[in-house]
Amino acid sequence: MKRITYFSAALSVGLLLVLASTSIGATKSERAGKDLIVEGQVLAVNAQDRTILVSDSRSNTLYLVSVPAGRSLRITFGMNMHSAEPQLHDVRQNDRVRLRCARMQDRLAQLNGDHEIITVAAVN
């Protein structure tokens, strides 16, 4: 009788671990494709098209970020970095920014074999 209870307890703990690991893995894969964090230096600001060109600080990737009206972004280093909610008109060339974005395309272009340009839209 003791053997049966130990076996059933071990089986239930094993099943619990298997279910927990699959649920954790599923949430990571769902999250991976939706949003990405763009962090880097601003190379150009186009106020008419509401876009900024950001050079990623970790890789040779350039992001063309479309910023919809009313969306705020975070300036991590620059003249307006202490603003509560900086908008697009507060961003200047050579500022460092951090944005949460959603991908629009995989890759727009490839420059000189090194840099990729990816188009994204600011989410928050």
* CATH architecture for the domain at 35-122: Beta Barrel (2.40)
Rounded Cα–Cα distance for residues 49 and 52 (Å): 9
Looking at residue 31, its pLDDT comes to 47
Q: What is the pLDDT of residue 73?
A: 83
Indicate if the pLDDT at residue 39 is higher than 50: yes
- Round to whole Å and give the CA distance between 90 and 124: 16
Using a cut of 0.75, tell me whether the model's pTM lies above it. Answer: no
State the chain's mean pLDDT as an integer: 78
Over 80: is that where the pLDDT of 28 sits? Answer: no
* 105 has a pLDDT exceeding 70: no
The answer to whether residue 55 scores a pLDDT higher than 70 is yes
H-state helical runs in the chain: 2-32
Give the number of other CB atoms < 10 A from CB of residue 111: 10
Band of pLDDT at residue 9, cut at 50, 70 and 90 = confident
Domain boundaries defined on the chain: 1-32, 35-122
